[in-house]
């Protein structure tokens, strides 16, 4: 019995002392880098980090939601939003003033006559199309007597096309203010309009996500049905390719066998309306536009011959606006994290900037390549590019070694030679999960990408920071970071002793 007990005790305490070995914390992918905090730094989906185009606030129009931006012939910008419905003019010097205000909830679409500078504004709900001449008072130009006025485009011949809901119609309005139904669909909403270089009209719908081409006589032809339910933006490039953004999941519920006959469908409840028990629809004060919490989005490119190609898809991001940057890259404004993305190819995208607002709802490029960015929650106007930020920084997420650790060498992969900017890395460490609470200060800069001994004190947590600087408008890049560490050995602890019966042997 004593011999057996002795063997058991020896087995309990004589555990092999497995020593710690050097470990590595590596980051080199978009999902890993996207957990950090970027300022003036863009992150590509292939894991490369580089300086972003400059992003700065131009104006605060005192609107909660900014839905539309239009540029006048003198370089002034016109902003439409709500609530209440307003048009705010921003002159080239950045001074803003309220140009128009109405009783409706929102201005959701704008168009400008490039010769006279006259502004046209479409309001919702139960709104009208207003004409706002330069230096003159606003007046109702056309009343479609429809619930929602979603989009507005001006044909080079002066004709206006107005997209409406909740009957899914497009109105054609002449320069004299007389209008008529140009196209009537079986959809609930015509949500987006676009004109190609030849002046042909295209439309996107909800709830089936249809993309239609309209003939001069108003005959519609579906060129594609998007996988998502609501088309939010249409955009043509100089080559005639059509870019389409759509959001939200389609819901199809087939009737079960033996189910009673379906009742006639109730009138579709448009975005911004909540159906209360008993079937009474009550308007939600803000917003009118459908800020979906989920449903994802897709962007497709449709070639001039009608061939559709998926470019980008997300299960979480919601695309509200499209434009091109100075280099001709496709830009996408998203929610609900206020991101501006560049879609470089079907296999590559770049997260350019995160705005302080929740949604990027409007994008317009000027002739010099600057992109004006409109947002919602709150509604603000920003300028993006075309010049690069001169300096940007990126802070990684804090790394938890789980135990007290000594730090080894820091190395990285970059492109910062031959005049392509400069790149420096820094580290700091601490013993709390929040790096703002009594951590060590940032270290001196590490400049050797092949590896440098980390000077931050031993601790449980560590964080690195990269600072990128442009040289002659050329940006450095960072694609991988590796940090070595060695955790302190922990002595074995006998937590309990179990005495077995004499008949049980220990091997």
Of 52-66, 227-241, 248-262, which range is least confident? 248-262
Tell me: pLDDT of 47 over 90. Answer: yes
447 exposure class (CB count in 10 Å sphere: 0-12, 13-18, 19+): exposed
Tell me: pLDDT of 415 over 90. Answer: no
Maximum CA pair distance of the chain? 110
Question: Does 507 map to a domain?
Answer: no
pLDDT of residue 257: 46
Question: Does 498 map to a domain?
Answer: no
Question: Does 132 map to a domain?
Answer: yes
Within 13 Å of residue 16, how many CA atoms lie on the same side as its CB?
A: 3
Same domain? For 294 and 148 the reply is yes
pLDDT of residue 136: 83
Same domain? For 81 and 142 the reply is yes
- Rounded to an integer, the average pLDDT of 324-332 is 96
Same domain? For 164 and 247 the reply is yes
CA distance 378 to 359: 8
Same domain? For 69 and 44 the reply is no
Same domain? For 102 and 194 the reply is yes
Tell me: pLDDT of 11 over 50. Answer: no
Same domain? For 244 and 173 the reply is yes
CA distance 291 to 135: 35
Tell me: pLDDT of 267 over 50. Answer: no
Q: Which domain holds residue 415?
A: 23-49+391-487
Within 13 Å of residue 193, how many CA atoms lie on the same side as its CB?
A: 29
Taking the alpha carbons of 312, 316, 322, 323 in that order, is the dihedral positive or negative?
A: negative
pLDDT of residue 5: 44
Same domain? For 468 and 403 the reply is yes
Same domain? For 354 and 376 the reply is yes
CA distance 226 to 211: 7
CA distance 475 to 422: 8
Same domain? For 383 and 408 the reply is no
Same domain? For 395 and 384 the reply is no
Q: Which tokens sit at 319?
A: 């695309």
**Number of structural domains found in the chain:** 2
- Please say whether the beta carbons of 480 and 27 come within 8 A: yes
Same domain? For 99 and 217 the reply is yes
Question: Does 379 map to a domain?
Answer: yes
Question: Does 258 map to a domain?
Answer: no
pLDDT bucket at 474, cuts 50 / 70 / 90? confident
Same domain? For 121 and 244 the reply is yes
Model pLDDT for residues 343-389, shown as the tens digit of each residue: 999 999 999 999 999 999 999 999 999 999 999 999 999 999 999 99
Of 89-93, 182-186, 347-351, which range is least confident? 89-93
| Percentage of the chain exceeding pLDDT 90 | 77
Tell me: pLDDT of 311 over 80. Answer: yes
CA distance 181 to 172: 6
Question: Does 261 map to a domain?
Answer: no
Of 19-33, 256-270, 341-355, which range is least confident? 256-270
């Amino acid at each position: 019995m004593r011999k057996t007990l002795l063997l058991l005790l020896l087995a309990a305490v004589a555990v092999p002392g497995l020593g710690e070995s050097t470990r590595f914390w590596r980051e080199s992918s978009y999902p890993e880098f996207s957990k950090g905090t970027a300022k003036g730094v863009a992150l590509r989906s292939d894991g490369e980090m580089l300086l972003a185009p400059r992003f700065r606030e131009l104006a605060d129009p005192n609107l909660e939601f900014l839905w539309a931006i239009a540029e006048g012939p003198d370089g002034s910008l016109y902003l439409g939003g709500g609530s209440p419905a307003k048009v705010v003019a921003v002159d080239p010097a950045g001074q803003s003033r309220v140009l128009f205000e109405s009783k409706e909830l929102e201005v959701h679409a704008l168009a400008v006559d490039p010769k006279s500078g006259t502004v046209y504004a479409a309001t919702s709900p139960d709104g009208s199309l207003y004409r706002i001449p330069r230096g003159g008072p606003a007046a109702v130009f056309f009343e479609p007597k429809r619930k929602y006025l979603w989009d507005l485009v001006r044909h080079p011949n002066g004709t206006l096309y107005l997209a409406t809901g909740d009957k899914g119609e497009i109105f054609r309005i002449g320069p004299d203010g007389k209008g008529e139904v140009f196209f009537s669909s079986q959809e609930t909403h015509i949500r987006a309009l676009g004109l190609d270089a030849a002046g042909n009209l295209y439309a996107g719908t909800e709830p089936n996500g249809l993309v239609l081409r309209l003939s001069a006589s108003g005959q519609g032809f579906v060129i594609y049905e998007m996988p998502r339910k609501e088309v939010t933006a249409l955009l043509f490039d100089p080559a005639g390719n059509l870019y389409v953004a759509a959001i939200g999941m389609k819901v199809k519920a087939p009737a079960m066998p033996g189910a009673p006959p379906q009742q006639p469908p109730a009138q579709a409840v448009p975005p911004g309306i909540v159906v209360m028990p008993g079937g009474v629809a009550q308007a939600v004060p803000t917003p009118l536009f459908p800020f979906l919490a989920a449903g994802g989005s897709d962007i497709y490119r449709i070639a001039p011959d009608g061939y559709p190609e998926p470019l980008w898809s997300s299960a979480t991001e919601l695309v509200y606006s499209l434009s091109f940057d100075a280099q001709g890259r496709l830009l996408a404004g998203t929610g609900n994290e206020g991101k501006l993305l560049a879609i470089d190819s079907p296999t590559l995208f770049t997260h350019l900037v995160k705005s302080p607002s929740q949604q990027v709802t409007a994008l317009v490029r000027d002739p010099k390549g600057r992109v004006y960015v409109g947002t919602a929650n709150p509604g603000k106007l920003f300028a993006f590019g075309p010049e690069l930020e001169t300096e940007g920084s990126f802070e990684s997420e804090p790394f938890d070694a789980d135990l007290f650790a000594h730090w080894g060498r820091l190395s990285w992969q970059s492109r910062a030679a031959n005049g392509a900017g400069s790149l420096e890395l820094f580290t700091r460490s601490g013993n709390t999960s929040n790096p703002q609470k009594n951590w060590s200060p940032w270290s001196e800069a590490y400049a050797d990408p092949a590896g440098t001994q980390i000077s931050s004190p031993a601790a449980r947590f560590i964080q690195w920071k990269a600072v990128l600087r442009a040289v002659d408008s050329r940006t450095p890049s960072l694609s991988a970071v590796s940090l070595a560490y060695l955790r302190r050995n922990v002595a074995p602890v006998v937590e309990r002793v179990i005495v077995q019966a004499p008949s049980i042997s220990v091997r």
